[in-house]
Amino acid sequence: METLSIDIFPQTDLKKSGNRPYVIAGPCSAESQEQVLATARALDQMTDVQVFRAGVWKPRTRPNTFEGVGAPALKWLQQVQQETRLAVAVEVANAAHVELALEHGMDVLWVGARTTVNPFSVQDVADALKGVDIPVWVKNPVNPDLQLWIGALERISKAGIRRLGAIHRGFTSEQKSAYRNAPKWQVAVELKRLLPEIPVICDPSHIAGDGGLVRELAQKAMDLAMSGLMIEVHPDPARAMSDAKQQIVPSDLEQLLAGLKIRKENGRGYSADDELGRLRQRSNAIDYELLETLARRMDVVRDIGRYKKRNNLTILQVKRWDEVLQDRLEKAGEIGLDRHLVETIYQLLHSHAIKLQSEVMNEED
Ligand code: PEP
Ligand code: MN
């Protein structure tokens, strides 16, 4: 991976007590002064909640749907600042949004998933942020493109924003699932690996698309050592003007937060003196055996390739491949291995074997 042009500074804004998550909560959209204030007052009682969120400009899939109240709603958020201890956050998608949000003294900004996909829009937001010191959270793009996510973080960072964070909100997927957006947790995990200083929080509401599934996703995010959560909360979700199905009522958020199991990310586990350390040493040793076995397997694949070349046989022998796959899946079942895991591994092995044998075919004699 090339060097990243991100100036990373600690997110001083992550005021959380101990291991508790940093929580941003509030309605998908600011709809009315009453709705905003009623929600904010309820959230003000929950110590984990640090920031009140509300969408003011809404990126809707189709026109002629509710596209947000716009600038007048910023006044309601100012009231939240006055009446509660909560900071307030809005989504910005262009320079005009940034200017209005800053003029109205918003505390935190976020870039939405449909903006992160477009470098022109992200650059427009970044240019409007030059010289401003405000925390900015960048949601993942709707497509699972880690480079696009990193690129957006870089653009905002280059504008001089130092309090930068990332929000994992899942990805559009063709595959049918109970969730509105596929979590693809490994994309967020890879972002954490590449940019360990950037806090990553999870938005289980937009992953779930269903209020009943938010809790399990929030717990999963905690188990993946994410720094916090962004959760959509509405006093009367059924009547919400956007994302009605996925919003939860304040008392449900309170229960969700109270029920979260927060585990330690680190601690022991790196020496032979403790159980986790010993288990990790065992798994390291098995990994080396696996890699050596794999190297031997690929040597045989090359020998088979040479045989096929000498005997003028095609690389792909579809009947043999089907037999191998069925046989290994059966074996996997017998020894208690997950079939999906084994199938994924064999699909990869087979496509790599074809690549190796093509190389062999093309070798000069
Ligand atoms: C939102 O937070 O309401 C929103 C529009 O989310 P996303 O950008 O994740 O779709
Ligand atoms: Mn929403």
Question: Running along the chain, 365 residues long, what does each successive block of 10 average in pLDDT?
Answer: 58 68 97 98 97 96 93 98 98 98 98 98 98 96 98 96 96 93 96 93 98 97 95 98 97 98 74 81 93 96 96 94 97 96 97 96 85
Q: Which helix (H) or strand (E) holds 109?
A: strand 108-111
Q: Give residue 18's pLDDT.
A: 72
User: Ligand 1: which atom is nearest the Cα of residue 167?
Assistant: 9
Q: Which two tokens stand for residue 288?
A: 């080396």
What pTM was estimated for this model as a whole? 0.84
Ligand 1 site: residues with CB under 6 angstroms?
Answer: 28, 55, 59, 91, 112-114, 139, 169, 203, 206
Residues paired with 23 in a beta bridge: 49, 229
State the ligand closest to the CA atom of 112: 1
Cα separation of 327 and 334, whole Å? 11
Query: How high is the pLDDT of residue 263?
Result: 86
Task: Identify how many contiguous H helices and E strands the chain contains and give both numbers.
Answer: 13, 8
Q: How far is the CA of 53 from the centre of ligand 2 (A)?
A: 10
pLDDT for the residue numbered 12: 53
Among 57, 108, 203, which is best to mutate for testing ligand 1, by the most ligand atoms less than 8 A from CB? 203
Please provide residue 306's backbone torsions phi and psi, each rounded to the nearest 5 degrees.
-65, -40
Query: What integer pLDDT is reported at residue 255 of this predicted model?
Result: 98
Residue nearest to atom 8 of ligand 1 (CA): 112
Answer for the pair 209, 226: CB distance below 8 angstroms, yes or no. Answer: no
Q: Output the CA 100–ligand 1 centroid distance in Å.
A: 19
Considering only CA atoms, which residue is closest to atom 3 of ligand 1? Answer: 28
Structure confidence at residue 365 (pLDDT): 75
| Domains, in order of start, for the chain | 22-259 (3.20.20.70), 275-361 (1.20.59.10)
Residue listed under structure tokens 């001089």: 160
- For residue 73, the model assigns a pLDDT of 98
Residue 111 Cα to ligand 2 middle (Å)? 13
> Tokens standing for 121?
């829009």
Query: According to the model, what pLDDT value does residue 1 have?
Result: 46
84 closest CA partner among 167, 12, 163, 25: 25
Q: 206 alpha carbon to ligand 2 midpoint, in Å?
A: 6
The best mutation among 62, 118, 169 to test binding of ligand 1, ranked by most ligand atoms within 8 Å of the C-beta, falls on: 169
pLDDT in tens, 183-209: 999 999 999 999 988 999 999 999 999
pLDDT at 359: 95
Residue nearest (by alpha carbon) to ligand 1 atom 10? 113
Backbone angles phi, psi at 229, to 5 degrees: -140, 145
Length of the chain in terms of residues written: 365
How high is the pLDDT of residue 10? 53
Question: What spatial distance separates the first Cα and last Cα of the chain, rounded to whole Å?
Answer: 36
Give the atom of ligand 1 at the shortest distance from the alpha carbon of 115.
8
Per the CB < 8 A criterion, the answer to whether 189 and 229 are in contact is no
Q: Is the dihedral of CA 281, 282, 288, 290 positive or negative?
A: negative
Question: Cα–Cα distance between 154 and 195 in angstroms, integer?
Answer: 11
Residues with CB under 5 A from ligand 2 (ion): 28, 243
Closest protein CA for atom 4 of ligand 1 = 112
Question: DSSP letter string over 146-197?
Answer: HHHHHHHHHHHHHTT--SEEEEE--B--SS--SSSSB--HHHHHHHHHH-TT
